[in-house]
Amino acid sequence: MSSLNHTPDHGGFGRPLVCQIVGYKNSGKTTLVCALVEKLKTEGYRVAVIKHDAHDFEMDHPGTDSFRHREAGAEAIAIVSPRKTAVIREKSLPLDVIIRDFAGFDVILVEGFKQENYSKLVLVRRTDDFELIHALSSVKAVVAWMSAEDVLSAVGKETMERLNLFQIDELERIYGWLKQQI
């Protein structure tokens, strides 16, 4: 599977690996997701990313045709060019619906959506972040900004025996773990 020429493909029939990268603001989620996407792409995996934004966001801007269409009342807009497609819907969709739409990919990395029940890597940057490890479902690994000893003493030996522990700068180990899940 590590050959650069290997092109995994579910052809839409298999189920992609879904892995959530969760943590509080400024914990390094986006940086880790981008690094993992780059490594997966290098090995030929088809990767999709779904990001949760707790705030309202705008993808198109005043003056664009799509913005004018939305302002006129369209509930969904699709913009298609020879190189890409964007769909904007004026409603929030459940994560499961979006994942189903991305079923043709090999890996779906989900940034955020803490309360969903997919396998999670939890990023802990500060002492207050440790509560996430106990509060969330399906936690499989912890990516820490502090020493393993600090994590162990804060979370407990029993909890850490069932989880994988990585330091934030151990990208190769994190990637190796992710590939094992595929």
**pTM for the structure as a whole:** 0.85
- Overall average pLDDT of the 64-93 stretch: 86
CA 149/CA 126 separation, integer angstroms: 14
Task: Mark residue 73 as left, alpha or beta (left: phi above 0; alpha: psi -120 to 50; beta: remaining).
Answer: left
Residue 31 lies in a domain: yes
Residue 63 lies in a domain: no
Distances (CA, A) of 142 to 11, 45, 49, 80: 32, 24, 20, 39
- Give me 182's structure tokens: 């595929």
- Which span out of 46-50, 65-69, 71-75, 154-158 was modeled with the highest average pLDDT? 46-50
Q: How many angstroms from the chain centroid is the CA of residue 177?
A: 15
Residue 70 lies in a domain: no
Look at 4-8, 22-26, 90-94, 146-150 and tell me which has the smallest mean pLDDT: 4-8
Look at 41-45, 56-60, 98-102 and tell me which has the smallest mean pLDDT: 56-60
Residue 33 lies in a domain: yes
Residue 74 lies in a domain: no
Quickly state the pLDDT bin for 122 (edges 50, 70, 90).
very high
Distances (CA, A) of 156 to 25, 49, 71, 97, 162: 24, 32, 53, 36, 11
Q: How many angstroms from the chain centroid is the CA of residue 28?
A: 12
* pLDDT confidence of residue 21: 97
Mean predicted lDDT score pLDDT of the chain: 88
Residue 4 lies in a domain: no
Residue 143 lies in a domain: yes
Q: How do residues 23-43 score in pLDDT, each as one tens digit?
A: 999 999 999 999 999 999 999
Structural domains of the chain, count: 1
Residue 25's domain comprises 17-57+92-181
CATH number of the domain encompassing residue 152: 3.40.50.300
Residue 102 pLDDT greater than 70, yes or no: yes
Residue 171 lies in a domain: yes
Amino acid occupying residue 67? F
Tell me which residue of 95, 94, 105 sits closest to 17, measured CA to CA. 105
Amino acid occupying residue 65? D
* pLDDT confidence of residue 164: 96
Helix (H, G, I), strand (E, B) or coil at 11: coil
